[in-house]
Structure 1
Amino acid sequence: MTNVFLTRLESPIGRIELVGDDVAVTSLSIERDGALPHDDEPERSNAVLDRAREQLLEYFAGSRVAFDIPVRRAGTPFQQAVWSQLDRLGWGEATSYGALAVAVGRPGSARAIGAAVGANPVPIIVGCHRVLAADGRITGYSGGNGIPTKLWLLGHERIGFAA
């Protein structure tokens, strides 16, 4: 049986909850409507989550632009391919759903790409907030309080978008 660990931190976009195992972060949740998925469970951290927590605090403080935290993402092969492309995006870089579709060899599948982006289990660490519509608009965000959370993250990284 794998050990499961949990820690939380305060951030400018609300509380964040990190879940992991002995070697990797497996999920990151951003508070929505004052709640986190495991609010009823006590924190039980480990070295991996402590490191992730510290790096997230540095990111929010503006002193970190890349994460070097091990993550394990459970998903379909298609989702894994999309998330691997998201891994390539750095601080301040954006892409479109259509460009991601081409990159994973599925041109014209922007809706499926959107679903895979929205299913990213470790937002912020894997920058799904950096994906915009082809014309630069914000079309949605599944983390935290949705579009306001995405707006904060884009502004923090100085990523321009169309209104």
Structure 2
Amino acid sequence: MSSIATTLLHLTDLPIGTLTLVASDTALTGVEFGRSEYAELEQVPNDLLLEAAHQISEYFAGKRQIFDLPIAPQGTEFQRRVWQGLCDIPFGETRSYGDLAAAIGNPKAARAVGMANNRNPIAIVIPCHRVIGADGAMVGYGGGLNIKQALLRLEGVLD
């Protein structure tokens, strides 16, 4: 959890279960699967969290393909480059770890890209679910492969 996070909001009743949104006053800093309890965070959502909740609900309703939210993922410079690369993968498309490594200018870093992908703090908004194995296989996902498959089905990638 980032030290700049100040408030959180639990989204329930989503097709994939519950998400916890975490934000500062200026940016979304986390989207986590399940219900997280941070005793030190205020649980009264700010305007940014309400907008994030609205956009995520639109995404699950099939009415939004691109998120328009200020985000502030906390990580290393390399991780942030990978996460930006993830944001460049269009809705309804997938890339392999190798494809993503090449796209960020480091074609031999597929494993490191996989590790950065695994540490993505803002799931769905930073679409790490769009990364698959080189052979097209569904591989690791923080929310579980069933959620990854549900997200890719929503985007029309899977039947």
TM-score of the superposed pair, with normalisation by structure 1:
0.88
Q: How many pairs are equivalent? A: 155
Paired with 1:2 and 1:139, the residues of 2 have a C-alpha distance of: 31
Q: Deviations over 1:87-125 (max 9, x none)?
A: 111210111100111122222221111110111111111
Aligned position for 1:50: 50
In 1, distance between residues paired with 2:110 and 2:5?
37
* Structure-2 residue corresponding to 1:151: 149
Partner of 2:60: 60
1:38 is matched with 37
Number of the residue aligned with 2:26: 23
How do 1:12-161 residues align onto structure 2 when only pairs under 5 Å count? 12-31=15-34, 36-38=35-37, 43-143=43-143, 146-160=144-158
Q: SS of the residue aligned with 2:134?
A: coil
Q: 1:3 to 1:153 in 2, by over 3 A?
A: closer
Query: Where do 4+ consecutive residues of structure 1 move more than 3 Å?
Result: 39-42
Q: Separation in 2 of the partners of 1:111 and 1:147?
A: 19
Identity %: 41
Residues in 2 aligned to 1:89 and 1:55: alpha-carbon distance in whole angstroms: 18
Q: CA deviation at 1:134?
A: 1.2
* Cα-Cα RMSD: 1.8
Structure 2 counterpart of 1:80, one-letter code: R
TM-score, with length taken from structure 2: 0.90
Tell me, in whole angstroms, the C-alpha distance in 1 between the residues paired with 2:76 and 2:119: 10
1:81 and 1:23 map into 2 onto residues whose CA distance is 21
Contact map agreement 2:22 2:29 (CA 8 A) in 1: yes
